[in-house]
Structure 1
Amino acid sequence: MGYEFSPADVAYLRSPEGDAAVAEVGRLALTAGSYLADVRTARELVGERAGAVLETVLLRRRAAAKVEEPGRWLFTDEALQQATPEVVARHRAERFAGRDVHDVTCSVGVDLIALGAVARRCLGSDLDPVRLAMARHNCAVPVVRADAVRPVSRGTAVFADPGRRDAAGRRRWRPVDFLPPLDSLAEVYRGRDLAVKCAPGVDFADVPWAGEVEIVSLDGQVREACLWTGNLATVRRRATVLRTGGPEWTVTDAEPEDCPVRGAGEWIIDPDGAVVRAGLVRHYAARHGLGQIDPHIAYLTGDTPPPDIRAFRVLEHGHYSEKSLRATLRRLGVGRLEILVRGLDLDPNKLRPRLRLAGDGEASVVVTRIGRTPVAFVCRAERT
Structure 2
Amino acid sequence: MDIEAFRGLLTPSGQALLAEAGAADVSEDGLIGTASRLRRGHPADLVAAALTQVRLRGRAVAKFGADASRMYFTQAGLEQSTRACVAEHRARRFASCLRPGERVLDLGCGIGADLLARARAGIGGEGVELDPLTAEVARANVVSFGLDGIVTVREGDAREEDPSGYAAVFADPGRRTARGRVFDPRSYEPPLDTVLGLAGRVPSGCVKVAPGIPHDAVPDGAEAEWISVGGEVKEAALWLGGLAGDVRRRATLISPNVHTLVPDEGLGGPEVRGWGRYLYEPDGAVIRAGLVAEVAALVGGGLADRHIAYVTSDALRPTPFASAYEIDDVMPFSVKRLRAELRRREAGVLTIKKRGSAVDVDRLRRDLGFGGRRPKGGTAVTLVLTRVGEAPVALLTRPVPGTGAAA
TM-score exceeds 0.5: yes
**Which digits, 9 at most, give the CA deviation of each residue in 1:200-224, with x for residues without a partner?**
1222323435712111111111111
Q: In structure 2, which of residues 30, 33, 57 is the aligned counterpart of residue 34 of structure 1?
A: 30
1:64 equivalent to 2:61? Answer: yes
Alpha-carbon spacing, 1:273–1:45, altered in 2? closer, same or farther (3 Å): farther
Whether contact under 8 Å (1:256, 1:283) holds in the other structure is no
Q: What are structure 2's unaligned runs of at least 5 residues? A: 403-407
Instruction: Supply the AA of the counterpart residue of 1:135.
Output: A
Aligned to 2:186: 176
Aligned to 1:318: 331
Aligned to 1:78: 76
Using structure 2 for the length normalisation, give the TM-score.
0.87
Q: In structure 1, which of residues 36, 53, 69 is the aligned counterpart of residue 50 of structure 2?
A: 53
SS at match of 1:317: strand
Measured on the aligned residues, the alpha-carbon RMSD in Å equals 2.1
Q: In structure 1, which of residues 192, 197, 201 is the aligned counterpart of residue 212 of structure 2?
A: 201
SS at match of 1:142: strand
Alpha-carbon spacing, 1:130–1:112, altered in 2? closer, same or farther (3 Å): same
**How far apart, CA to CA, are the structure 1 residues paired with 2:78 and 2:176?**
16
SS at match of 2:42: helix
Instruction: Supply the AA of the counterpart residue of 2:306.
Output: P
1:96 equivalent to 2:106? Answer: no
Range moving further from structure 2, 75-84 or 161-170: 161-170
- Displacement after TM superposition at 1:169 (Å): 6.6
Aligned to 2:232: 221
- Displacement after TM superposition at 1:255 (Å): 5.1
1:247 equivalent to 2:257? Answer: yes
1:150 equivalent to 2:153? Answer: no
SS at match of 1:368: strand
SS at match of 1:46: coil
**How far apart, CA to CA, are the structure 2 residues paired with 1:183 and 1:233?**
18
Instruction: Supply the AA of the counterpart residue of 1:20.
Output: A
1:367 equivalent to 2:385? Answer: yes
Whether contact under 8 Å (2:128, 2:154) holds in the other structure is yes
Instruction: Supply the AA of the counterpart residue of 2:106.
Output: D
Instruction: Supply the AA of the counterpart residue of 1:18.
Output: G
- Displacement after TM superposition at 1:72 (Å): 1.0
- Displacement after TM superposition at 1:190 (Å): 2.3
Q: How many residues are treated as equivalent by the alignment?
A: 377
Range moving further from structure 2, 282-291 or 13-22: 282-291
**How far apart, CA to CA, are the structure 2 residues paired with 1:168 and 1:289?**
45
Q: In structure 1, which of residues 120, 123, 127 is the aligned counterpart of residue 126 of structure 2?
A: 123
- Displacement after TM superposition at 1:254 (Å): 4.2
Aligned to 1:273: 284
Q: In structure 1, which of residues 297, 300, 309 is the aligned counterpart of residue 308 of structure 2?
A: 297
- Displacement after TM superposition at 1:288 (Å): 3.1
Q: What are structure 1's unaligned runs of at least 5 residues? A: none
- Displacement after TM superposition at 1:167 (Å): 7.0
**Which digits, 9 at most, give the CA deviation of each residue in 1:122-165, with x for residues without a partner?**
22222223222222221222223332122244242100111123
Instruction: Supply the AA of the counterpart residue of 2:263.
Output: D
Taking only the aligned residue pairs, the percentage that are identical comes to 38
